[in-house]
Amino acid sequence: MPGRRVYVIGVGMTKFEKPGRREDFDYPDMAKEAATKALNDARVDFTEVQQAVVGYCYGDTTCGQRCVYQLGMTGIPIYNVNNACATGSSALALGKQLIEGGVSDCVLALGFEKMEKGSLKGGKFSDRTNPMDKHLETMMNNYELAAAPITPQMFGNAGKEHMQKYGTKPEHFAKIAYKNHLHSVNNANSQFQTFYTLDQIKNSPMIYDPLTKLQCCPTSDGSAAAVLASEEFVRKHKLENQAVEIVGLEMATDLTSTFDEGNCIKLVGYDMTKTAAKRLFDKTGLSPKDVDVVELHDCFSTNELLTYEALGLCDEGKAGEMVDRGDNTYGGKYVVNPSGGLISKGHPLGATGLAQCTELTLQLRGACGKRQVPGAKLALQHNLGLGGAVIVALYRMGFPKSRFQPRQAYTAATATGKDGFKSAAVFDEIEKQIKKDGAKFVKKVKGVYCFKIQGGPGGKEGVWVVDVKSGNGSVKFGANDKADCTITMKDNDFIQLMAGKLNPQTAFFKGQLKIKGNLALAMKLKEFQPKAEKSKL
């Protein structure tokens, strides 16, 4: 039976750090920072929180109490949760159930991790059964154990199986890591904010074939939190304009196929994810096609690719094609891991699920700045823990009619107002090319562009439509024809781009170049650049 609706009313997180980098960053410090940010974002005092659920993997008992007591000692129930890498989202799931079932109206979900340097070690205890013993045994039935950390062996072997079965290439995995590192450049909370070329990704030290170092998530210190509330609480505190509804959330654990089928794709949680996703979409009446933005568990680049298929973002065996089409980044069908994901943002185990919740909440509010996904209305979360557990959730604005709508920063130029735009000269040149060789351009490009040029005279926006799809092509100013690809840039930036002086990839991830619609068509824009000054788009 469906219960009460549950909303995220506040989120907060620390910057994720390399373990030990900050001296003043013990787990109580990071937890206090994240929880305080979430409470401030929710605009509620801690005294209104009725229960708290705290997730962490590495720590003594009652670390949750040690953290929450800093916020106030009000006698509320505090639960400590450990569910491997899905710990943060497990805390979120339990908090949701408390509100959904009518037990509480306001719950704090908090996750943190203070980790050791280097790759994850095996079990902490040598005098008892390791909970991953059957996973390791299943892998070793098919693969010789290598002198490498265990988890990259499991996920690396899963990637090899996908390559053997579907023809996926190592470059597909590298492209995923390249994308995530690029996305993180605009995330101030990301552990890494460095731009890496695809060659740097591919040529970084090999951890376990096909996974290079830059395709593996790092260990991290950090914390994240979310304040959850009932509809009654939201309305009482007038938080409708910021409340994000958890439309649905499903948890699944391992099925018999994890061990019985003897392959690493199933071993690392493919069927868990597929099962949870199916339940989620069936119960909510939504489908993967409705999703705009995704935060998923890219502990390794191979797992991100596998998860595309398990979530239903593409057909089974077609994830490599999805990567090649760019349907996992800005301008494509979905934007996956705009935060940078685990690979670049970092992976403090107990905080990851709540960091995903934080990112998606901010994306739906339109509050992510340069990494904002245009028009994001439905968000999908996936958080995986080997051993095993997976949580898949959907989010959307809870009260869209109450959402604050910012004023447009630019006014549209009139049909006769292209004078004063520096870019007008570019479009005049394009028009000359089309008049001369229009049929050739139509045959080669086959698309309609809409260019929104901002920052013109008096702060105006000029709109040009370049049709190289029908007839012999045309260029129109001030038109509102339906476009296959919409490109938005400032006047000066567009001039630099078309002259080959502004790198399009750099412009894209710095927010200077915004693309909506067909990304492959945007790449054909180079056809209109002067031949000697073409740059890669």
- Give the active site residues: 85, 347
Give DSSP secondary structure letters for 168-200: --HHHHHHHHHHHHHHHTT-TT-S------HHH
Which residues lie below 8 Å from residue 79, measured CB to CB, with a gap of 6+? 51, 52, 53, 54, 64, 91, 94
Q: Which of 454, 450, 455 is nearest to 467 (CA)?
A: 450
The per-residue DSSP string of 69-107 comes to: TTT------EEEE-BTBTHHHHHHHHHHHHHHTTS-SEE
Rounded to the nearest 10 degrees, how much is the dihedral formed by the CA atoms of 30, 31, 37, 40? Answer: -150
**Helices of type H across 366-463:** 424-445
Could you tell me how many helices (H) and strands (E) the chain has, helices first? 19, 18
Q: Which of 356, 41, 75 is nearest to 229 (CA)?
A: 41
Q: List, in order, residues 6 or more apart from 121 with CB less than 8 Å away.
A: none
Name every residue whose Cβ is closer than 8 Å to that of residue 210 and which is 6 or more positions away in sequence: 156, 159, 160, 163, 170, 173, 302
Helix, coil or strand: residue 332: coil
- Element (DSSP H or E) covering residue 353: helix 352-365
Whether the CB-CB separation of 155 and 143 falls below 8 Å is answered with: no
Contacts of 242 (CB under 8 A, 6+ apart): 9, 41, 365
Q: How far, CA to CA in Å, does 465 sit from each of 357, 456, 483, 485?
A: 38, 17, 8, 10
Sole residue written with tokens 């979409």? 281
Which residues are within 8 A (CB) of 104 and not within 5 positions of it... i.e. 6 or more apart?
Answer: 50, 51, 98, 230
Place of tokens 């030990």: 20
User: Which whole-number Å values give the CA distances from 517 to 319, 354, 450, in the listed order?
Assistant: 20, 30, 10
Q: Tell me: cis bond preceding 210? Omega within 30 of 0 counts.
A: yes
Distance CA 422, CA 116 (A): 54
